[in-house]
Chains A and B, each alone.
Chain A
Amino acid sequence: MSNTLGTVGDLQQESADLTESWNMRLYVAGQTPKSLRALANLKQICEKHLAGKYHIEIIDLLENPQLASTDQILAIPTLIRKLPEPMRKIIGDLSNVERVLVGLDLRPGA
């Protein structure tokens, strides 16, 4: 599996505490307004709740269409929380922060 960094920029931030590491993948299909919005929203949420311990990988399906089946991607954008287990799937531009936090199992102040 080849990871591709999107054109939206390098958003990798490494955390010192690896046990608390959050590994996430954002699937997009080109630079659509929805994708850009999703990335911005995700970045904001992570900075607020997971500062210093998250890793975001952006996969552009236009470049790697074969990955769509592997992770059962249907809707775009889709965010997948790979780690910590279990895997979680959130679709949409992540503008509904409340739903994103429920989806990621992140309670405010956790």
Chain B
Amino acid sequence: MTEGIHERQKLARELAKAPTGIKGLDEITLGGLPRGRPTLVCGSAGSGKTLLGMEFLVRGAQLGEPGVCITFEERVDDLIANVASLGFDLSQLMAEKKLRLDHVQLDPSQIEEAGEYDLEGLFVRLGYAIDAIGAQRVLLDTIEALFAGLSDTGILRAELSRLFSWLKDKGVTTIVTGERGEGQLTRHGLEEYVSDCVILLDHRVSETIFTRRLRVVKYRGSLHGTNEYPFLIDEDGISVLPITSLDLQYTVSDQRISTGIPRLDTMLGGEGYYRGSSILVSGTAGTGKTTLGAQFVNAACGRGERCLFFGFEESLGQITRNMRSVGIDLAPWVQAGLLQYHGTRPTSYGLEMHLVKMHKLIEDFQPSVVVLDPVTSFLSSGTSNEVKSMLTRLIDFFKSREVTALMTTLSSEVERLEQTDVHVSSLIDTWLVLRDLESGGERNRGLMILKSRGMAHSNQIREFLLTKNGIELQDVYIGPAGVLAGSARLAQEAHEDAEELLQQYALAAKRRQSERKRKVLEAQIAALQADMAIEEAELQRLATQEELRQTRRQRDRVAMAQMRQADATVAPEMSGDNVHTGKRP
């Protein structure tokens, strides 16, 4: 299974193949059964051998390759009635000469063997039927009945060997069915004669759950899927699931789609999930996982995209009622054909069958969004490893179809939230964790993004509120006491508001106080200035007095000199400066 797809396709081309038209089988066999050669389909009673063979003929007839069925066990009328339940109208195909049925009746009590014989009669009948409608396909069901009807096994073995080489010469693509034997593939060792291709059908019951499986044991000259593949028989025939044959080769999209919650989009790099990515929502009971899924579906339907919702715990009625209470109305989408809801109990059938059914529904409906709620409930029908393997295949399938898948898992309280019971976290692109934040006697919901590949996402915890208008995300209070949500957050916010108000009051008071102080100081300054002004005025007055005195003295001196008739002339005017410096002209 490690070879590349191209290598396999190249090899597959080298061998001419006849497509069976059976869903999935052509993928496993890389094109169909070996053309012009016999294929052995073996399995125990009730494993679906005849139906596989009949579908091969019917699909062949639809593809323009008429077919002949030689039935050794069922009568023609019974066969027609049995396959009618699969939607095959054999009578119609017979009337159109696309199909011929012949019942070979063998009653050992009516037949006496007296001497040597061969089975030329069978050859004649087969040859006649083939030629009558130009058949290219043959079903021999179950040729081993010959061993019960005829006692000479030596002749039988020789004749079977001759029959298969005759069929090869005829160039018809043949399916031979055989009953599963002890220690070998078929009870009478038919695998000795049919060596080109052997398909084994099996059905088993494990823990009261029934699963059909198919395996290509051998395919000479061609590569093929080697695993056991689960298959389903329903009103559309057989569907085989070759999921494990997928390689990691799907195309990825750069397109983003909204989560339905604007703030969550913002947290996821502003645009939401990647289209075709796988999203895991884990959380304890009652944290709003289903609502998150429903809101996503609601948004997708609102964009006109098709959604498939698999609920493993609730019925459609229950979920629409519950979602309506948070403002999400899913009913119109169901009516518009945009939303399909499938509510099944995980225990109603095995994991493989769930896988087959989901596979089929997705193929038929071609949704762009799928929700699985919750995947942990599969643990009731398989072990953790089996569930992981199944989910791996499912996620691969989603990715190959570019289906955006949202899965929820229920975490148990004791376990760490960052661990899922189904261990698929490594396959997931975006992982949202919903946790309850317990404090102050109440329980609130918190949402965080644990990882989201390929985008810058928020690392913040947001409070997750279920309101009448759906989900709302709120900032949580993060402080020394930890994360606060709900009424504690509100209380904290109120507390902060009060503090803020007090601060404002205090500031205003301070402002008034300083204003007053400023006014006081200004008054003081004014008083001082007034004092200063008085001082200056006094000084001025003294200076003027001094000047007057000086002038008078000068005048007196001049007058005295005149009186004395002094010879020296004294300047009539003298400035005060001259007086101070003592200089004389």
Contact = CB atoms under 8 A, between A and B. Distances in A.
Contacts of B125: 65, 68-69, 73-74
B128 A76 contact: no
B128 to A, nearest CB: 4
B92 to A, nearest CB: 21
Interface string A8-44: 0000000000000000000101001010011001000
B115 A38 contact: yes
A91 B112 contact: yes
Interface in A59-108: 61-62, 65-66, 68-69, 72-78, 87-97, 99-100, 102-103
A69 B114 contact: no
B interface bracket (residues with beta carbon within 8 Å of A)? 20 to 34
Given A65-B128, A74-B106, A95 B114 contact: yes
Interface residues of A, number: 35
A34 B116 contact: yes
A75 B112 contact: no
A66 B129 CA distance: 9
Contacts of B146: 74
A95 B114 CA distance: 6
B558 interface: no
A61 B105 contact: no
B117 A92 contact: yes
Interface string B119-130: 111111101100
B113 interface: yes
A50 B126 CA distance: 36
A69 B149 CA distance: 17
Given A61-B124, A65-B125, A65-B128, A91 B113 contact: yes
A94 B115 contact: yes
Given A29-B124, A68-B124, A74-B121, A99 B113 contact: yes
Nearest to A105: B112
A90 B112 contact: yes
Contact of A95 (B116, B120, B149): B116
Given A66-B128, A72-B105, A41 B115 contact: yes
B118 interface: yes
Interface string B87-123: 0000000000000001011100011111111111111
A90 B128 contact: no
Q: Is the interface of B mostly helix, strand, loop or mixed?
A: mixed
Nearest to B104: A74
B150 interface: yes
Contacts of A74: 104, 106, 119, 121-122, 125, 146, 149
A29 to B, nearest CB: 4
Interface in B514-566: none
A33 B127 CA distance: 22
B104 A75 contact: no
A68 B114 contact: no
Contact of B112 (A37, A41, A100): A100
Nearest to B106: A74
Contacts of A99: 112-115
B112 A93 contact: no
A76 B121 contact: yes
A91 to B, nearest CB: 5
A96 B151 CA distance: 15
Contact of B110 (A29, A41, A76, A89): A89
B118 A89 contact: no
A61 B122 CA distance: 11
Contacts of A65: 124-125, 127-128
B117 A93 contact: yes
A73 B117 CA distance: 12
Nearest to B116: A93
A46 B125 CA distance: 29
* Most chain B CB atoms below 10 A, which of A41, A87, A92, A99: A92
B102 A69 contact: yes
A34 to B, nearest CB: 6
Contact of A92 (B110, B114, B124, B149): B114
Nearest to B132: A66
Contacts of A78: 117, 121
A103 B118 contact: no
Contacts of A103: 112, 114
Nearest to B112: A103
A46 to B, nearest CB: 14
Interface of B: 102, 104-106, 110-125, 127-128, 146, 149-150
14 contacts: A65-B127, A68-B124, A72-B104, A74-B106, A75-B118, A76-B118, A76-B119, A78-B117, A87-B110, A90-B111, A93-B116, A93-B117, A96-B113, A96-B115
For the complex of A and B, list the 8 residue pairs with the smallest distance between their C-beta atoms, beginning with the closest.
Answer: A103-B112, A92-B115, A65-B128, A99-B114, A76-B120, A95-B115, A93-B115, A73-B121
Interface of A: 27, 29, 32, 34, 37-38, 41, 61-62, 65-66, 68-69, 72-78, 87-97, 99-100, 102-103
Given A65-B127, A68-B124, 14 more contacts: A27-B121, A61-B124, A65-B128, A68-B121, A72-B104, A75-B150, A76-B121, A76-B124, A78-B121, A89-B110, A91-B114, A96-B113, A99-B112, A100-B112
